[in-house]
Amino acid sequence: MAIYLRLAFILLNICCSLWVKAEIIKVAGIDWCPQICINDEKPGYVVELVNEVFKGTKYSLEIDHFPWSRAIKNVLQGKYDALLAPAKAEAPNLIYPKHEVGKQRMCFFTKKSSQWSYSGPESLANLQIGIAVDTSIEELNEYVKNNLAQFQFQPYHERYVLQNARKLDKKRTDTFLMTKNTTLYSLSLAGLADRYREAGCVSNTSIFMAFTPELSKKNNVEEMTLVFDRRMAEIYNTSFIDKLMRRYGL
């Protein structure tokens, strides 16, 4: 009898182990290094953080990369369970947990020879400005809405920074907006960091792992967000985030 009980216990553990690995959270993201990267060795600090969040739970993550607008749409429609990593104003209809996964700082970039720097909305007069579609700039959202002719909208994808740098070179724009870490990373990777400069920043905004509002997934999403917030609260009490940011030179 003892042998049979031991065998039953082993089988139960195997079944439970399989159950823990069974539920996949389908995540839509973008190529947005160093936050989200298409790189197996260094997939981005946001990706490493959310993988740590769900490590040891019944969930595992499956991340696919899209242009930003399509990533948002996929999650809104319930084709994907979660989105990495919007500010709330960029996708206000998604379901947001309590805890953020990082910060994004939107900054202006110009040619190094330019004398212009951002000092408030009034300093934008008469400029042509590159900006990504579906990007929130917090304090400038109203200005953008009221001055659309000044902004050249472009879908965000992995070539966004370099394409906007070329627009500066061709004098098609005077400046462009993008998150600071991503722009510096992309320019450095292309060997162009010495040709452009940061020309002032707008806002420092929280970014999140946000979940689909699709009603058919409501119960699953509620459980995912509870697990996410519980695990994030635990991680905040460790040195994991500090070590992770140092790994990416941040």
- The DSSP result for 210-247, as a single string, is EE---GGGHHHHHHHHHHHHHHHHHHHTSSHHHHHHHH
> 222-245 burial, b if ≥16 CB within 10 A, otherwise e?
eebbebbeebbeebeeeeebeebe
Q: For the chain, list residues with pLDDT below 70.
A: 1-22
- 112 in the same domain as 97: no
Strands laid side by side in the 59-65 sheet: 59-65, 23-29, 82-84, 209-211
Residue 19: predicted pLDDT: 47
- 82 in the same domain as 160: no
- 145 in the same domain as 236: no
- 218 in the same domain as 155: no
- 79 in the same domain as 22: yes
Residue 86: predicted pLDDT: 96
- 15 in the same domain as 85: yes
- 178 in the same domain as 156: yes
Q: What angle do CA 163, 166, 172 make, to 5 degrees?
A: 105
Nearest CA-CA partner of 57 in 99, 23, 34: 23
- For residue 91, count other CB atoms closer than 10 A to its CB: 21
- 180 in the same domain as 137: yes
Domain total in the chain: 2
- As a whole number of angstroms, the distance between CA 223 and CA 135 comes to 28
- 189 in the same domain as 133: yes
Beta strands in 155-195, from DSSP E residues, in sequence order: 175-179
Rg of the chain taking only CA atoms, in angstroms: 21
The answer to whether residues 158 and 44 touch, using CB atoms and an 8 Å cutoff, is no
The answer to whether residues 83 and 101 touch, using CB atoms and an 8 Å cutoff, is no
> 175-214 burial, b if ≥16 CB within 10 A, otherwise e?
bbbbbbbbbbbbbeeeeeeeebeebeebbebebbbbbbbb
- 149 in the same domain as 66: no
Sign of CA dihedral 91, 92, 95, 100: positive
Phi and psi torsions of 160, nearest 5°: -55, -50
Whichever domain contains 168, its CATH number is 3.40.190.10
- 171 in the same domain as 159: yes
The answer to whether residues 244 and 49 touch, using CB atoms and an 8 Å cutoff, is yes
pLDDT digit string (tens) for 124-176? Answer: 999 999 999 988 787 898 999 999 999 999 998 889 999 999 999 999 999 99
Domain span holding position 182: 104-205
- 75 in the same domain as 21: yes
- For residue 37, count other CB atoms closer than 10 A to its CB: 22
